Structure 1
Amino acid sequence: MLRPNPLRQAVAARRRAIGAWLFMASASNAELLADVPFDALVIDQEHGPGGLESVVAQLRAAGSTQSAPALLARAPDCSMAAIKPLLDAGAEGIFAPNVESADQVAALVEAMHYPPRGRRGLHYTVSRAAGWGRHVNEYADHAEREFLTVAMIESAAGVAALPQMAAHGGIDMFFIGPLDLSASIGHAGDYAHPQFRELLAEAEQRILESGAALGGAIIPGHDARALFSRGYSFMTVGADAGFLRSAALQALATAGADRDG
């Protein structure tokens, strides 16, 4: 099914968009969260336990309607070998982790595009993304127009390299990964630390100056209202694993209070 990419449309218009992560390699989780009005779901292939078949199952479960959220995948790295199977499976965009140089941006952009702009293999004659060949005449132009290329900034080195990475071109969004960013300066998870706050502000400013969209995740002290006010176009507000755990703990706390009372 070829359709306009709802997240790309939102990002291009700088509308405020909200998404969530799929970490558990569960088609049922993907199906359930696709029925919640998120703008995008991101299947995690960097930390998640699933393989390519679980990616296809999640895409199939979540993407059965034109109104489904944008369905993207976080690749393990910027390589062609990591990215090409995810695109051929039907992902509508790629999050590339811990991008720190213009060379990595070049590799990412090449993996995202067919020749002459890139080096992606022309597998659309039989790929799921092209309807197993049904859309062989339309798919290449559709992919060029609709796919979203996202570089994740997760280190102080990545922040420093932002001007060079942005100058290369081809990145639709730079997405700040706050936990790894804080760890890169020795303050993992300490989002109130002055050094982290300074680095985060520097990253935000450089991304906004680049012309690419600014994305990130809500964290303690930096909620959705705060991030949107600072110019974010897209943010993630949690993941399937976190939603399940939080709901279970809340249910247990409620039942426990009733039991103890």
Structure 2
Amino acid sequence: MKILVPVKRVIDYNVKVRVKADGSGVDLANVKMSMNPFDEIAVEEAIRLKEAGKADEVVLVSIGVKQAQETIRNGLAMGADRGILVTAAEDVHTDIEPLAVAKILKAIVDEEQPGLVIMGKQAIDNDMNATGQMLAALLGWGQATFASELAVEGDSAVVTREVDGGLQTIKVALPAVVTADLRLNEPRYASLPNIMKAKKKPVDEKTAGDYGVDVAPRLEVVKTSEPPTRQAGEMVGSVDELVTKLKAAGAI
């Protein structure tokens, strides 16, 4: 079985995001970029399935700017087999919207014929949480979102999902789309020998036009602003004083 894993290049989660002075977006100048953490979890899970003999090949796909090749190489260093880079934008500030990404991924799935697509549940830059669901709908495949456990059993995948009321275990027929949640696993660090090997692994370069997909944005960002500054806390001398202040503030 072949596993396809989409990965996205985003601002590193350790970086404090800065908004441009004119409010037109986020400042990406000289900012460290890395693989979306949820996608990194998806890559790790795909590699574990391959190591367990459940898969034969792990293919990574990244859609965006040319610099996303570095993101693919990081996944290859973790243990994936090859990559596909789809250049769909020239400006690093351009974010390809979920529907366009899903359409491109559908075209790649039609070509590659994977038995399973594992992807992050959302990207930490736009928090859309939509691409996996859209891809499943376009393909007509079953989907299991917010996976905290995944097991492949024959022609099915058993997935434990994190839902508001606790955990839900479902069984979906393969091929299927699974989106990874935070507690699915802990991604490995790439070793130096594997980083060197990753440089020789194949990465095919495509464009959105090769798949006949229009990536023109349908949404317009009107303004980007910093969240309001949090007010300073206030020390109280007793529980009674705390309750009195909360009542005065209408909190209780």
TM-score with structure 1 setting the length:
0.30
Structure with bigger helix share is 1
Which of 1 and 2 has higher RCO (CA within 8 Å, sep 6+)?
A: 2
Higher strand fraction (1 or 2): 2
Q: Which has the larger Rg? A: 2
TM-score by length of 2: 0.31
